[in-house]
Structure 1
Amino acid sequence: MHSFFRLLSVLPIGLLHFAGGVMGWVTFALSPTYRRRFVENARQAGYSFGQVNSAVGHAGRMVFETPRIWLGQSLPKCTVINAEVVDRAYALGKGIVFLTPHLGCFELSVHAAAQRWSAKYGDITMLYRPARQAWLAEILETARNRPGAQAVPTTLAGVRQMIKALRKGSAVGLLPDQVPPQGLGVWSPFFGRDAYTMTLAARLALQTGATVIVARCERLSWGRGFKLYFEALEAPLSPELDVAVQEINLAMERTIRQCPEQYLWGYGRYKQPRVDPQMSPSAEGDKA
């Protein structure tokens, strides 16, 4: 598998998207559980399968383009939209919490932002969950640490590094629609249904005063690259944690509705949280 990842990392992005699109539909056809979850999640958000069926192919494209982003000699072409939103936030000196849902090429969001701003404002720090497979763990230890980006594990030590970065005026990146371990989230509405939602994003912003910016990296057709959009929240987060978490969920909903055909509707957003011994519930108050 390591060799296969290396092979994918040198192929043109257009070819990867073609192969990934095919594989996305093959996976959809072979997995009844995935099909059911995809359709149910899309319906929960008010979409019929016909309205978002192109997301099936985009899920496969996301998988195939990831080695290219992690291991490629250079990043794919990415046009930044609304860069002034980020410039203004950095100028405040309190750091930035970049948030992006499982939409489009979310792996590229941090690296493209780092390429543009890290030389002036420091590395962008992002969380990653260590892989269980030895070959993938070896790749992840270095693959996400491109110049300007620093990946830290989902442990208390990793979270502390994020807090340190924000206090220096740098930025961090999170996927707030990722289901956290038991005890590290709250049940909050997401497209009208309660979903176990991380509190970390809200805690980081509330404790440090960092600006929250929503990012979405849309995949262009025919291998033409990507467009990375930045938007500030419509209003500052509420000081009440539960309310702030709900406000972030609403911001994710608005972002997804801007490009629903590239959201990972097959992701288990409404699943029960797992137990993670490295992130004990008792430490929740310490980490942010």
Structure 2
Amino acid sequence: MRHAWLPAAVARLARLPLPALHVLGWLGGWAAWLASASYRRRWRAHTRLAGLRGWGRWASVGAAGQQVAELPRLWFGPPVRVGWEGAAHIEAALAQRRGVLFLTPHLGCFEVTPRAYAERFGVPHAAPITVLYRPSRHAALEALLRRARQRPGMAAAPTTLAGVRQLMQALRRGEAVGLLPDQVPPQGQGVWAPFFGCPAYTMTLAARLAQQPGVQVLLAWGQRLSWGRGYVVHVQPWAQVMGEPLAPDPAQAAAQINRAMEALIRRCPQQYLWGYARYKAPRAPSPTA
């Protein structure tokens, strides 16, 4: 019962205007940065690795708080304004009735991307999107996450063997799949590959899905507009960003995917989650993984 208060609190926050949530999030991001010495050390180390300086570096502190504060509105509140850049790439992929794999880093508002896809493409084109997520250890929060990520045109798959099968089946049906390839996988489910010049344990699942027959890989991220004006979802084909096919070797493919994520992050570094423990050692896999 420790988190019994959570659904009511989220429901209240979901009714707030997006500009208000972003102000609260900005303040909360700085409060978290000031309160945690370990967070500050990690943020400093990661931004230095990427060569991030000046306003963009400091703006990322507040943006990390905005990323959390906007979730209730996106999950359970009124619709937000979303624009598109590169939607034609999705339309072309769906016209071929082939599976589509969206790769998105911890950049901007990564929650808005699958929701915007589900609303514009998932239901009208009968091509839903399945997103991979890591289940919470807290029952109340897990129930909240399941409810937030199950909606028309959108389904959620847990980071288990059954969840991976769910992703594979969706691609074979010609549907869309989305995941965050810069999320640290459990031990035995990744390889060490450079990320901003430093070895990071990187999942091999993204490459395995990308190499399924007929699958088209699109790189996508949701840019958070200033003053609560909404979001813009940016979409580009893999070849347009990387200019090379994905290597069959898992380690080489992981390194390529990391470079692709770096390319996206450098376009808007102030909205990347630099405090995420990207270079941590992988945890032991759960019995169901």
TM-score range, shorter chain: over 0.9
TM-score, structure 1 as length reference: 0.94
Tell me the CA shift for residue 75 of structure 1.
2.8
Q: For residue 220 of structure 1, what is the aligned residue in structure 2?
A: 225
Q: For residue 265 of structure 1, what is the aligned residue in structure 2?
A: 274
CA offsets per residue over residues 158-181 of structure 1, 9 Å max, x none? Answer: 110110000011000000000000
Secondary structure at the residue paired with 2:66? helix
Q: For residue 90 of structure 1, what is the aligned residue in structure 2?
A: 94
Whole-angstrom distance in 1 between the partners of 2:14 and 2:176: 27
Residues 16 and 64, structure 1, Cα contact 8 Å, conserved in 2: yes
Whole-angstrom distance in 2 between the partners of 1:279 and 1:98: 25
Tell me the CA shift for residue 278 of structure 1.
3.8
Task: In structure 2, list runs of 5 or more residues that go unmatched.
Answer: 1-5
Q: For residue 248 of structure 1, what is the aligned residue in structure 2?
A: 257
Whole-angstrom distance in 1 between the partners of 2:177 and 2:130: 4
What are the within-5 Å matches in structure 2 for residues 68-217 of structure 1? Answer: 68-72=73-77, 74-119=78-123, 120-217=125-222
Aligned-CA RMSD value: 1.3
Q: What is the aligned-residue identity percentage?
A: 49
Task: In structure 1, list runs of 5 or more residues that go unmatched.
Answer: 281-288
Residues 94 and 208, structure 1, Cα contact 8 Å, conserved in 2: no
Whole-angstrom distance in 1 between the partners of 2:176 and 2:110: 16
Tell me the CA shift for residue 279 of structure 1.
5.1
Amino acid aligned to 2:279: Y
Q: Which has the higher helix share?
A: 1
Secondary structure at the residue paired with 2:120? helix
Q: For residue 21 of structure 2, what is the aligned residue in structure 1?
A: 16
Whole-angstrom distance in 2 between the partners of 1:170 and 1:95: 5
Q: Which of residues 235, 238, 252 in structure 1 aligns to 2:247?
A: 238
Amino acid aligned to 1:117: F
More moved, 57-66 vs 129-138: 129-138
Q: For residue 3 of structure 2, what is the aligned residue in structure 1?
A: none
Whole-angstrom distance in 2 between the partners of 1:209 and 1:179: 27
Whole-angstrom distance in 1 between the partners of 2:100 and 2:126: 10
Residues 37 and 266, structure 1, Cα contact 8 Å, conserved in 2: yes
Count of equivalent residues: 279
Secondary structure at the residue paired with 1:135? helix
Residues 39 and 49, structure 1, Cα contact 8 Å, conserved in 2: no
CA offsets per residue over residues 86-128 of structure 1, 9 Å max, x none? Answer: 1122223221110110011001111101111112142100111
Secondary structure at the residue paired with 1:208? coil
CA offsets per residue over residues 61-88 of structure 1, 9 Å max, x none? Answer: 010101111122x431110111111112
